[in-house]
Amino acid sequence: MALLNGTRARWTWSLAAAFFLLVVAGCALIRALGPERRFAFSHARHVGEEKLDCIICHESAAVADDPGMPSPDTCQACHDELDAEKAPESQVATLFDAQQFRAAHASRIGAEPIFSHKQHVKADVACASCHDGIDDNRVVDASIAVDMARCTACHAERSLANACSTCHRELRADVAPANHAHDWIERHGRRALAHELATADSCSLCHAQASCADCHRIQAPKNHDGFFRLRGHGLFAAEDRASCAACHTPDSCAQCHEETRPLSHTGLFGGTRSQHCIACHFPLKAEGCATCHATTPSHELAVPKPAWHTPAMNCRQCHGVSAPLPHVDKGDDCNACHH
């Protein structure tokens, strides 16, 4: 037996070692075959370490609505000497494509919003007020863009105009966005519950929380069919009770179930050791089994304990485990009925 156990232990360690080596080899292979990280522009190097002013690279920020992106000539003023001994893939020229900064699209505002860097510079708004954390940024990607929440918060703090028309040419609170067409009525619930962080997915921009309840009280959701009313709603409520609360108050559940017993409430519902009753029926209006089982035959005829059972015995050590228990165990003293 000892020999067998030793053999098993050696096999276990061998398999564990082989698995570890496979994981390490797999990680190395992924790194080897995966896309090589390209040379990227680092604001942390230029702003945080070199302390360069933003205006050096974004030359038109103080005189035009668009701040302007750095040009190859601007960068080469410093990098002709800095790149002399660098590999071609690490030179500043790789950041440009036909004289255009490759990552310019990451923070491009577009034609619809109304925004002027020139006006903000004239108002002595520091670059870091909008571009928070720019001195730690090491890759120009989508994270560098300024979101609308930062704009509206700043305008509110300075008591400036904050209406949609202040910053948008076409978007209005009284005009439905393009995605509010076709099957939007069916899809909007899933979108709202997703809690996406994108500004375009923020319902609260136009809708107050009360508007959800106002609408759904008039028009029930399409999933509120016969099956949902009889069976499905209980499962849904258990998963997402907050959605139900948009229209239904907790007392409405009690009012309905006082008149209509759930279809699941059949004999031995929940099992003999279940505490399912008090999950809904709490606090109880009275104590004892008759609180729920008003029509149950008298328990005065409860089966007596065998002569060798004493009141000091722990009934639950056997009954409901290895011995039968024909009724729900609600925690009462068994000796109260079984004399």
Tokens of 23: 């994981």
What proportions of the chain, in percent to the nearest 5, are helix, strand and coil?
50, 0, 50
Q: Which helix (H) or strand (E) holds 56?
A: helix 54-57
| DSSP letters for 98-155 | TTEEGGGGGG---SSB---HHHHHHTT--HHHHSTTGGG--S-SGGGSPPHHHHHHHH
Query: Residue 337 and residue 339: Cα distance in Å, rounded?
Result: 6
CA atoms within 13 A on the CB side of 146: 17
Q: Which residues of 198-213 are buried (b: 16+ CB within 10 A; e: fewer)?
A: eeeeeeeebeeeeebe
C-alpha–C-alpha distance, residues 193 and 51, integer Å: 44
pLDDT-derived band at 238 (thresholds 50, 70, 90) equals: confident
- Over residues 50-60, the mean pLDDT reads 90
User: How high is the pLDDT of residue 111?
Assistant: 84
SS3 165: helix
Residues 114, 167 contacting (CB under 8 angstroms): yes
Query: How sure is the predictor about 2, in pLDDT bands with cuts at 50, 70 and 90?
Result: very low
Q: Tell me whether the omega of the peptide bond preceding residue 311 falls within 30 degrees of 0, making it cis.
A: no
- The number of CA neighbours under 13 Å toward the Cβ of 230 is 4
pLDDT value at 5 more than 60? no
Q: Give the tens place of pLDDT for each residue, 300-325.
A: 667 788 889 888 888 888 888 888 77
Buried b (16+ CB within 10 A) or exposed e, 48-69: eeeeeebeebbbebeeeeebbb
Positive or negative: CA dihedral 87, 88, 93, 94:
negative
Average pLDDT, the chain: 79
Q: What is the pLDDT of residue 266?
A: 66
Q: How confident is the model at residue 117 (pLDDT cuts 50, 70, 90)?
A: very high
- Reply yes or no on whether the pLDDT at 1 is more than 60: no
* Separation of alpha carbons 126 and 146, rounded Å: 14
**pLDDT computed for residue 241 by the predictor:** 79
Confidence (pTM)? 0.51
Residue boundaries of the structural domains of the chain: 43-167, 207-264
The reported pLDDT for the residue numbered 10 is 61
**Residues 6 or more apart from 45 whose CB is under 8 A from it?**
138
- The pLDDT score that the predictor gives to residue 79 is 92
The rounded distance, in Å, linking the Cα atoms of 91 and 79 is 8
The predicted pLDDT at position 34 comes to: 46
Ranking 41-55, 148-162, 292-306 by mean pLDDT, the lowest is 292-306
Pick from 242, 43, 30, 27: which is nearest to 141 by CA? 43
For the segment 176-220, what is each residue's pLDDT rounded down to a tens digit? 887 888 888 888 888 887 777 777 778 888 888 777 778 877 887
Report the pLDDT averaged over residues 120-134.
89
Higher pLDDT, 25 or 133: 133
> CA–CA separation, 43 vs 165, rounded Å?
33
pLDDT value at 298 more than 60:
no
